[in-house]
Amino acid sequence: MTAQPRIWDIPGGIHPPQNKHQSTARGLEQMPLPARLVLPLLQHIGNRAVPVVQIGERVLKGQLIAEANGPLSCPVHAPTSGIVRAIEPAPYPHASGLAELAIILESDGQDEWTELRPLLDYRDEQPLNLLDRIRAAGISGLGGAGFPTAVKLASRPDHHIDTLIINGTECEPYITADDMTMRHRAPQIVAGIEVLMHILKPDQVLIGIEDNKPEAIAAMREAVGERPMQVVVIPTKYPSGGEKQLIQILTGKEVPSGGLPADIGILCQNVGTALAVHDAVLLGRPLISRITTLTGAALERPTNVEALIGTPIADLLAFAGLRQNRLYRLVMGGPMMGFTLLDSSAPIIKTSNCLLAGTIEELPPPPPALPCIRCGLCAEACPAELLPQQLHWFAIGKDYEQLQRQNLFDCIECGACAYVCPSSIPLVQYFRAGKAEIRGIELQQSRAEHSRQRFEQRQERLEREAEQRELERQARAEKAARAKAAREAQAAQQQTEQSEQATEPKPAEPDLARIQSRKVTTLSAEQKQLKIAAATARMALQRAQKQLAANPDNADLQAQIPTLEQAFTQAQQAFDAQMSDQEKQ
């Protein structure tokens, strides 16, 4: 083990009571096989997966039951063997409380695996094939956001990832799932990290763990051994485990606003994700279970369990000895960033790291909010160095421009500001609402912009068509005019000829001769040139006239017309003169 590398401090942060010891005393327990599993098709960020099984079909443990829909999506696998009972909207763990389309699987108790394809010599494989494997195993980030891992690993193919960060920080109070994962699965995590290293070829690997987890640190250090990875112990402070914050702590760099860690050559993965990568590649197992913390004073025996994805929350709470009469607020996730659950028939999904069954003493309702006195404690606590008091001010006033100017969208909603607020102002709620309103306005604007573009394009097309029609009409009119002129000229000539014949028969002969000679005369080179010049000039004139008819206001064209007319007249005269000269000769 090399010396501890340099670490940086993040601005702000808070030290809420950790409440982690309650759930670490019983080790890592196996959850008994539930009778019924609810497998939502959306357990990740991206598109909903598409079921590939029929109702009534028997599936095996690890079998694909819903395939990814597009690149930003994740497949779902059967966590145990059993019968597909339904594919229907079912309770779903989300802040909205809305139902989500899910595959309902009735366990047959056999827990019979499908055929697995472990890949022990992954080092011979192309990274792209390994990415496919990770994608096919349905792995999305287990830390919380649930971003599809394969997409994240390949997020910036043109950037070299020089630093791979493994997040074992787990800064939120109560949650110990990552702690337990590291304590009990350290060798597998390290093997998973090696797979990630094979894919990314980073220059360094940093495993960040808060100093309140000495057992996890020891286990990870032992598992790492002499491998080129560093376990970095960082001070306990909330929210050090936020991706952006951990990157700042371990590297001193900041992820550009609106960008990705990959933009600065860094990639972050949760320890649970590394474990899932190990299972997917070395064991061939898809992501069908995860380690989840069950805690809170309303539980008799708070603990950590390895539970199948899709296990109903009620089953898990019953396993941990829920005292229903003491339960005041059920939270999925931690007390700082989790969300309240209304329905304990919802299942745990790939991102569910903790169930917090709090009593009223533990998670009391907030006292009524007082006016903001701008004490600035929130700004001191903000890890993003925002001014929550100002954001709050502008959010109340719905001043969206100022909200954006004050970088509302850089808020990570960690809740540190609301935690320290002496006036109990629900700041994060204001910020979420503000963000949603701004997004709504932007959506509206983009829709309006879209329809404006459509309208303009349509107008343009209609104009083009009208112009075309006008040109055709002109062409027809000109043709008709020419034909008419020719007819008139012929008629006039006949008349003249008749009159000439009648009045002056004498020159008839030469005229006749002239016509005859004309018919037989071939034009000399000079004559040809003059004729071409005259024709060109005429065409130029006609073209200009047409264009002028289409754009009557074009001053340039108006100016051109007389010049062209003159040029045409001159060329025609020159040609005529030549011809008459010839005739004279």
Partner 1 sequence: MAAPMSSPHAQGSNRTRTIMLQVLGATAPGIALMTWFFGWGTLINILLASTCAIGFEAAILRLRRRPIGFYLNDGSALVTAWLLALALPPYAPWWLVLVAIGFAITFGKHLYGGLGQNPFNPAMLGYAMVLVSFPMEMTSWPVWRGIEQLQPAFAPTLGLMEGLQRVFMPGSLPADGWATATALDLLKNNSALTMAELQQAQPAFGSMAGRAWEWVALAYLAGGLYLLYKRIYSWHAPVGMLGALAVMSLLFWNGSGSGSNGSPLFHLLGGATILGAFFIATDPVTSATSNRGRLVFGIGIGVLVYVIRVWGNYPDAVAFAVLLMNLCAPTIDYYTTPRTYGHRKAKRGLGKGAE
95 lies in the binding site for partner 1 (CB under 8 A): yes
Binding range to partner 1, per CB under 8 A, among 84-92, 386-394, 469-477, 520-528: 386-394
Tell me the backbone φ, ψ of residue 292, rounded to 5 degrees: -130, 140
Binding range to partner 1, per CB under 8 A, among 182-190, 256-264, 301-309, 550-558: 256-264
Instruction: Give min distance, CB of 266 to partner 1, in A.
Output: 13
Q: Who contacts 99 (Cβ-Cβ below 8 Å, separation ≥6)?
A: 89, 90, 91, 92
Which spans in 10-162 are helix H?
A: 127-136, 149-153
Task: Return the number of the residue (401 or 553) whose C-beta is nearest partner 1.
Answer: 401
446 lies in the binding site for partner 1 (CB under 8 A): no
Q: Per the annotation, does 74 bind a ligand?
A: no
365 lies in the binding site for partner 1 (CB under 8 A): yes
Among 114, 155, 407, 578, binds partner 1 (CB under 8 A): 407
In angstroms, the CA 305 to CA 31 distance is: 6
In angstroms, the CA 442 to CA 124 distance is: 48
Task: Return the number of the residue (100 or 279) whose C-beta is nearest partner 1.
Answer: 100
Instruction: Give min distance, CB of 382 to partner 1, in A.
Output: 9
Whether omega for the bond prior to residue 239 falls within 30 degrees of 0, making it cis, is yes
420 lies in the binding site for partner 1 (CB under 8 A): yes
18 lies in the binding site for partner 1 (CB under 8 A): no
336 lies in the binding site for partner 1 (CB under 8 A): yes
The DSSP output letter for 159 is S
Task: Return the number of the residue (205 or 421) whose C-beta is nearest partner 1.
Answer: 421
Among 146, 148, 173, 192, binds partner 1 (CB under 8 A): 173
Among 142, 176, 152, 154, residue whose Cα is nearest residue 43? 142
Among 233, 22, 32, 281, residue whose Cα is nearest residue 135? 281
Q: Per the annotation, does 378 bind a ligand?
A: yes
Among 29, 254, 306, 437, binds partner 1 (CB under 8 A): 254
Q: Per the annotation, does 372 bind a ligand?
A: yes
Please tell me the count of residues contacting partner 1 according to CB under 8 A: 72
419 lies in the binding site for partner 1 (CB under 8 A): yes
Residue type at 528 in one-letter notation: K
The DSSP output letter for 572 is H
Q: Pairing mode, if any, of strands 100-107 and 36-40? A: antiparallel
Task: Return the number of the residue (57 or 410) whose C-beta is nearest partner 1.
Answer: 410
Tell me the backbone φ, ψ of residue 82, rounded to 5 degrees: 165, -165
337 lies in the binding site for partner 1 (CB under 8 A): yes
Among 27, 118, 252, 422, binds partner 1 (CB under 8 A): 422
* Residues between 257 and 276 with contacts to partner 1, criterion CB under 8 A: 257-259
Binding range to partner 1, per CB under 8 A, among 210-218, 279-287, 383-391, 538-546: 383-391
Among 262, 377, 537, 564, binds partner 1 (CB under 8 A): 377
Q: Who contacts 106 (Cβ-Cβ below 8 Å, separation ≥6)?
A: 35, 36, 37, 82, 83, 84, 85
In angstroms, the CA 514 to CA 172 distance is: 110
Residue type at 562 in one-letter notation: P
Q: Which two tokens stand for residue 39?
A: 């497998």
Task: Return the number of the residue (31 or 428) whose C-beta is nearest partner 1.
Answer: 428
Binding range to partner 1, per CB under 8 A, among 123-131, 361-369, 468-476, 523-531: 361-369
Q: How far is CA 350 from CA 125, 151, 153, 317, 492, in A?
A: 27, 16, 18, 17, 95
Decide: 76 and 66 in contact? Cβ < 8 Å.
Answer: yes
Annotated binding residues for [4Fe-4S] cluster, as ranges?
372, 375, 378, 382, 411, 414, 417, 421
Residues contributing to the annotated binding site: 372, 375, 378, 382, 411, 414, 417, 421
